[in-house]
Amino acid sequence: MKTRVFTIGLAAILLVLAAGAGGLYAYDSSRSDVIARGITAGGVDIGGLSAARARDVLRRSLGPKLGEGVFVRWHQHGWRLRAADINARLGVNRMVREALRRSREGSFLDRAVRDLRGHKVRASVPLRVAHSPRKLHSFIDSVAKAIDRQAVSATINPSGVALNPTPSHDGIAVQRRFLAARILRQLRDPSSHHFAFVPTRTLRPHVSSSRLAYKYQTFITIDRAHFTLRLWKDLRLARSYRIAVGRQGLETPAGLYEINDRQVNPSWHVPNSAWAGELAGRVIPPGPEDPIKARWLGFYNGAGIHGTDEVSSLGTAASHGCIRMSIPDVEQLYTQVPLHTPIYVG
């Protein structure tokens, strides 16, 4: 008898529990479209709202802010990016789906008990904004077009009278990926001021002005028209010398060369030319018969800079293609001109 009573009691208890569980399940099912209390989306409290109501609240709360777009600034320049320019729109459906997913986590018993006891989920869904990447990149391209500047390397454009150096300049380039991220971050932050500075990076020239001066620590220019040799140090004029250049028909060759031969008290290797007469092809050692005095700085096909004791020829076109200097001048020049020094004959 006692066993029967126990069995009946247990069955009654189980029936009550089943009925209660069924009631909780039915209650939870009835709230499948309701967002749990405590959940926010884009900073807006949508807890306790139905999905349809939450979408409406999000549009009214966040839509006007998104519509302001973003103001982009670089120094004194500014650009207004409207939301419509990049098809920016609230992802309300996505936010509500995420909020419902967070609301439905756990078992139906947990959810039903949580709701009946008034507990909150404490979850935050970020503001979702959809946009056209192509239109955003097009906007950034227009900003970059106004800002980007190529770096300019330092160069020289020598003439007979000057080196004509062009100084280097740094360039600047918009960091496009970072700018896109900043713009989207402003659009997706409901508390932002919708303002973004344009990030840029400095472009360094391949050849800076200081690098150019280091490369051309020594340079020679020949001004044939005014019979002047100029010595340049670190792109600055260091000294000018009176010279003689090649006569008509045997002109000193114009162009850019480099010093490829340096000699002290050189011998004269007479060219095999008609003007040399019976001396053609001979080697005249240093002495009275050697017209190449004191020093030799060769630069092209037998042409070079040397001293002469015919100082009366300086300031004229008198040589057979070489550049003549007074002996003291060529001795002084020689000490300042290393091998491979560039020389421009103009």
Q: Are 63 and 90 in contact (CB under 8 A)?
A: yes
**Tokens at 158, concatenated:** 């020598």
Reference 298, options 257, 251, 254, 335; nearest CA is 257
Contacts of 175 (CB under 8 A, 6+ apart): 199, 200, 201
What size, in residues, is the chain? Answer: 346
Which neighbouring-strand residues pair with 156? 165
Which neighbouring-strand residues pair with 233? 218, 236
So which residues are the catalytic ones? 306, 322
Q: Are 244 and 329 in contact (CB under 8 A)?
A: no
Amino acid at site 332: Q
Torsion, CA 211, CA 215, CA 217, CA 218, rounded to 10: -150
Reference 342, options 226, 190, 220, 202; nearest CA is 220
| 318 vs 244: CA distance, rounded Å | 6
**Tokens at 18, concatenated:** 């089943």
Sign for the pseudo-dihedral over CA of 52, 56, 61, 63: positive
